[in-house]
Chain A
């Protein structure tokens, strides 16, 4: 049985023919249950790599497998469904729907994924449970996302990514705006939940000080080669 959750094999990508940003990832494998920190400075291609892994972008060549499925070979519709079923995403800016209340924000992924929806028998109870685990007050449920503090938004974003137990959580620099203490608290809370769900975490950051809290550290410069277009 293949124990890897992410497998990248000879992936090449560039945004447009005129673009100077061209990347090649010869090989990358992340095992199930791992907590991996992907390190790299701004503009190094971290977010592009995450977009490829999530299936937002399609590589020019090579393959990306998530949970054993080569997602770049799936149709656009199937890829969207696959992403909804398997990947929970935490954005750098959290990106909650500002006009929706907290519960609706958390439940949003379940609408697009039958698999994740079936994993949750009582949705409201599950939301309350997640709130408790993430130390969010009970009465926050009906608040509009726009009325929450930064820290609360962060935790709601984690709850949204975790609901329905997706096998992979991808987080794009969620701690970038936090001080060291708040980072630690936030990461501990996230790790607790991810361990409880048996999910895999791939978190992107440019902050090396976080590395000791993860199972594995990947430096983007070691796995990603920036190429000139003439190479293709």
Chain B
């Protein structure tokens, strides 16, 4: 009967209790969203490249090599020669390689020279590969494939003509050899989206009339003549490498790092990504901090709401006491109410979270490249809920003790 009356009391305060539950649910949902975003940002970041065993470039730190070869941030310290690359390709342990040549740009987007194997070998988020959304991969020397972000931001379509600029912030364009958009890739949420991809031969072609970073004055080789040339690259920036057996990764890495002909570095992408995440992990800590503040605010809000609703219930408490309820029953009832509100808020917040995630997941993925996983709640979430319920009981103690004093002092008169 006591429980029935407690629920009737809650029902009678439907608006107040409803607003309390809504406020707590939204706060909890916000906390879980931030947590989801935090873990998803980490997962998406570390999933930027997968199934690649080694990334090889000129001697540099692992983070630097990863930044320019995968994230297209910064510049390579040096290139590696095509001969060294061929040496690497000929190694028995090597299953596949994808050469990458960087250095030029188009309207702020990095231009990457590579071969067609890039599209089948480069994997992200586990085993997903980049695929064509519109058009086709480069067939002609001057075909260019655009990442989805480039096409969208520049408004380019299949057939659009574009000119590659020399370097990153150069005022010199390779305007004598314009490209034509042959394909646009599907959105990946990786740096590929913001990359202009051409063939390695195309990179060589646009630099035929260039020497040591500058155009040779008065030299303009006709395009037809260029097409007839041997456009095998002399240098590349980096190479993605897959090995036949995972057991040989470290052996191959050591061979590369000790390569006598040229100073090269081979990094394990997974380890380098972790290292890089630690560098940019301040964002994660910030999100974690936000989560803690949100949950703290929720609890303070809950205590405040319980305090304010206490005066509403003072008469009720005095009646219970007059009928013989002990102060502990009064405290127990308030704590029970806190537990009930917490459980209902948790349930509602989970429903809200799934609705919001379902609604926003495609938008977050498309705009920020973060794939927020919509999955069942993890054990960690259950721990958080349990801690929240315990914390709710604790914060409800203060209003409950206040109610106890009210109920003693009110006695026969209810001072309301």
Are A100 and B8 in touch, CB under 8 angstroms? yes
Q: C-beta contact mask, A74-111 vs B, less than 8 Å → 1, else 0?
A: 00110011011100010111011111100010011101
Are B322 and A54 in touch, CB under 8 angstroms? yes
Are A104 and B1 in touch, CB under 8 angstroms? yes
Are A47 and B412 in touch, CB under 8 angstroms? yes
Q: Determine if A34 is an interface residue (Cβ-Cβ < 8 Å).
A: no
Give the most central of B11, B315, B410: most A CB within 10 Å.
Answer: B315
Q: Determine if B173 is an interface residue (Cβ-Cβ < 8 Å).
A: no
Are B412 and A50 in touch, CB under 8 angstroms? yes
Interface residues of B in 370-404 (CB under 8 A from A): none
Give the most central of B11, B12, B323, B327: most A CB within 10 Å.
Answer: B323
Contacts of B315 in A (CB 8 A): 95
Q: Determine if B414 is an interface residue (Cβ-Cβ < 8 Å).
A: yes
Q: Determine if A140 is an interface residue (Cβ-Cβ < 8 Å).
A: no
Contacts of B413 in A (CB 8 A): 47, 51, 92, 172
Q: Determine if B141 is an interface residue (Cβ-Cβ < 8 Å).
A: no
Q: Determine if A186 is an interface residue (Cβ-Cβ < 8 Å).
A: no
Are A97 and B316 in touch, CB under 8 angstroms? yes
Q: Determine if B5 is an interface residue (Cβ-Cβ < 8 Å).
A: yes
Contact flag A107-B325 (CB < 8 Å), given A95-B414, A99-B9:
no
Are A95 and B5 in touch, CB under 8 angstroms? no
Are A51 and B323 in touch, CB under 8 angstroms? no
Considering the chains assembled together, what is the distance between the CA atoms of A77 and B330 in angstroms?
Answer: 12
Are B324 and A113 in touch, CB under 8 angstroms? yes
Give the most central of B8, B11, B327: most A CB within 10 Å.
Answer: B8
Contacts of B319 in A (CB 8 A): 91, 95-97, 108
Contact flag A109-B12 (CB < 8 Å), given A56-B411, A97-B5:
no
Are A89 and B412 in touch, CB under 8 angstroms? yes
Q: C-beta contact mask, A155-171 vs B, less than 8 Å → 1, else 0?
A: 00000100000000010
Are A111 and B2 in touch, CB under 8 angstroms? yes
Are B324 and A83 in touch, CB under 8 angstroms? yes
Contact-residue bracket for chain B: 20 to 34
Considering the chains assembled together, what is the distance between the CA atoms of A100 and B316 in angstroms?
Answer: 11
Contact flag A95-B318 (CB < 8 Å), given A54-B411, A56-B408, A100-B8:
yes
- Interface residues of A: mostly helix, strand, loop or mixed? helix
Contacts of B323 in A (CB 8 A): 84, 89, 108-109, 111-112, 160
Are A111 and B414 in touch, CB under 8 angstroms? no
- Interface residues of B: mostly helix, strand, loop or mixed? helix
State the total of A-B contacts with C-beta under 8 angstroms.
86
Q: Determine if B121 is an interface residue (Cβ-Cβ < 8 Å).
A: no
Are B412 and A93 in touch, CB under 8 angstroms? no
Contact flag A97-B1 (CB < 8 Å), given A76-B326, A112-B325, A113-B324:
no
Q: Determine if B153 is an interface residue (Cβ-Cβ < 8 Å).
A: no
Q: Determine if A210 is an interface residue (Cβ-Cβ < 8 Å).
A: no
Q: Determine if B4 is an interface residue (Cβ-Cβ < 8 Å).
A: yes
Nearest B residue to A49 via CB reads B412
Interface residues of A in 1-59 (CB under 8 A from B): 47-48, 50-51, 54, 56-57
Q: C-beta contact mask, B310-332 vs A, less than 8 Å → 1, else 0?
A: 00000110110111111111000
Nearest B residue to A54 via CB reads B412
Considering the chains assembled together, what is the distance between the CA atoms of A96 and B11 in angstroms?
Answer: 16
Nearest A residue to B8 via CB reads A99
Contact flag A51-B12 (CB < 8 Å), given A76-B327, A97-B316, A104-B5:
no
Nearest A residue to B9 via CB reads A99
Considering the chains assembled together, what is the distance between the CA atoms of A92 and B315 in angstroms?
Answer: 13
Q: C-beta contact mask, A112-149 vs B, less than 8 Å → 1, else 0?
A: 11000000000000000000000000000000000000
Nearest B residue to A84 via CB reads B324
Are A81 and B322 in touch, CB under 8 angstroms? no
Interface residues of A in 163-208 (CB under 8 A from B): 170, 172
Considering the chains assembled together, what is the distance between the CA atoms of A92 and B12 in angstroms?
Answer: 23
Nearest CB in chain B: distance from A106 CB, A: 11
Contacts of B4 in A (CB 8 A): 104
Considering the chains assembled together, what is the distance between the CA atoms of A196 and B284 in angstroms?
Answer: 75
Nearest B residue to A99 via CB reads B12
Contacts of B328 in A (CB 8 A): 77
Nearest CB in chain A: distance from B158 CB, A: 69
Q: C-beta contact mask, B279-296 vs A, less than 8 Å → 1, else 0?
A: 000000000000000000
Are A172 and B5 in touch, CB under 8 angstroms? no
Contact flag A91-B8 (CB < 8 Å), given A83-B324, A109-B324, A111-B1:
no
Contacts of B8 in A (CB 8 A): 97, 99-100, 104
Are B11 and A99 in touch, CB under 8 angstroms? yes
Are B325 and A172 in touch, CB under 8 angstroms? no
Contacts of A84 in B (CB 8 A): 323-324
Nearest B residue to A146 via CB reads B12
Contacts of A98 in B (CB 8 A): 12
| Chain A interfacial positions (CB closer than 8 Å to B) | 47-48, 50-51, 54, 56-57, 76-77, 80-81, 83-85, 89, 91-93, 95-100, 104, 107-109, 111-113, 160, 170, 172
A-B contacts besides A47-B413, A56-B411, A111-B2, 14 pairs, CB < 8 Å = A47-B411, A54-B411, A76-B326, A77-B326, A80-B326, A81-B326, A91-B319, A97-B9, A98-B12, A99-B8, A100-B8, A109-B324, A172-B412, A172-B413
- The 27 sampled A-B contact pairs (Cβ below 8 Å) are A47-B411, A48-B411, A50-B411, A54-B412, A56-B408, A57-B408, A76-B326, A76-B327, A77-B326, A81-B324, A84-B323, A84-B324, A85-B324, A89-B322, A89-B323, A89-B412, A95-B315, A95-B322, A97-B5, A97-B316, A97-B319, A100-B8, A104-B8, A108-B1, A112-B329, A113-B324, A160-B323
| 8 tightest Cβ-Cβ pairs between the two chains A and B | A84-B324, A112-B324, A99-B12, A51-B411, A56-B411, A80-B326, A51-B412, A99-B8
